């Protein structure tokens, strides 16, 4: 009987800690923000950046069924994006219009439509959706595909004269070449 009570108290304390866990405690290293407020259940990031892209102000909310399965799945909502992030695994159904922060990237804006990128053990396992990169010369578009440890998007202008390759790794780093 005493062991059962100790077990119940331990489980209760663990659940209580999870309920009040601040989002800042689980925010991946690749995401920065000028301010982070709230718990994993409902939080906001102000001035958020990820992978060299400006995300702006973003609302996040954890999905309880995913937590029970051992995954941290966050719904993302903001003026420039909507979708889900699975911490450590990728993104699901991301539709966004983002500004690159890195001046070396030859892009003025990057948009995604229903973009899903999943990584397992550092390897790309799923890559679907559409990506568009707006440059000073043209608008380039393409669909992602998995290539080992990264998702690649071969982007091309409508006439095929201008091409660009986007590479996104498991850490969320974006490079254009």
The reply to whether 77 falls in a domain is yes
- pLDDT for the residue numbered 71: 65
**DSSP state at residue 22:** B
- Give me 48's structure tokens: 């958020």
Q: Give the tens place of pLDDT for each residue, 43-101.
A: 888 888 876 777 888 887 777 766 666 666 777 777 777 877 776 678 888 888 887 76
User: Is pLDDT of 107 > 80?
Assistant: no
Residue 5: inside a domain, yes or no? no
By residue range, what is the domain housing residue 165?
23-176
Q: Is residue 134 part of a domain?
A: yes
Q: Give the pairing of strands 123-134 and 163-169.
A: unpaired
CA neighbor of 37 nearest in space, from 49, 22, 27, 48: 22
In the numeric block, which tokens belong to residue 63?
């999905």
Query: What's the domain count of the chain?
Result: 1
128: pLDDT strictly greater than 60: yes
Across the strands, what pairs with 151?
A: 146, 168
Residue 92 lies in a domain: yes
Contact between residue 84 and residue 96 where contact means Cβ atoms under 8 Å apart: no
What span, in angstroms and rounded, lies between the C-alpha atoms of 17 and 21? 6
Which whole number is the average pLDDT over 94-120?
Answer: 80
> What's the CA gap between 171 and 52, in Å, rounded?
12
Tell me the mean pLDDT in the region 114-141. 91
Here the tokens at position 64 are 């309880």
**Which tokens belong to 172?**
């969320």
Q: What is the mean pLDDT of the chain?
A: 80
Q: Copy the structure tokens of residue 145.
A: 């595909």
Between CA 21 and CA 136 the distance in angstroms is 44
């Amino acid at each position: 009987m005493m062991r059962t009570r100790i077990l119940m108290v331990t489980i209760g304390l663990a659940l209580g800690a999870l309920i009040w866990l601040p989002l800042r405690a689980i925010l991946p290293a690749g995401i920065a923000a000028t301010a982070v407020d709230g718990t994993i259940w409902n939080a906001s990031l102000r001035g958020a950046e990820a992978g060299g892209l400006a995300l702006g102000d973003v609302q996040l909310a954890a999905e309880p069924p995913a937590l029970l399965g051992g995954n941290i799945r966050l719904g993302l909502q903001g003026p420039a994006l909507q979708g889900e992030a699975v911490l450590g695994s990728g993104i699901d159904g991301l539709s966004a219009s983002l500004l690159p922060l890195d001046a070396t990237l030859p892009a003025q804006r990057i948009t995604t439509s229903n973009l899903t990128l999943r990584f397992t053990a550092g390897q790309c396992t799923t890559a679907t959706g559409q990506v568009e990169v707006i440059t000073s010369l043209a608008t380039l578009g393409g669909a992602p595909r998995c290539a080992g440890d990264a998702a690649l998007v071969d982007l091309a202008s409508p006439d095929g004269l201008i091409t660009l390759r986007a590479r996104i790794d498991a850490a969320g780093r974006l490079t254009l070449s």
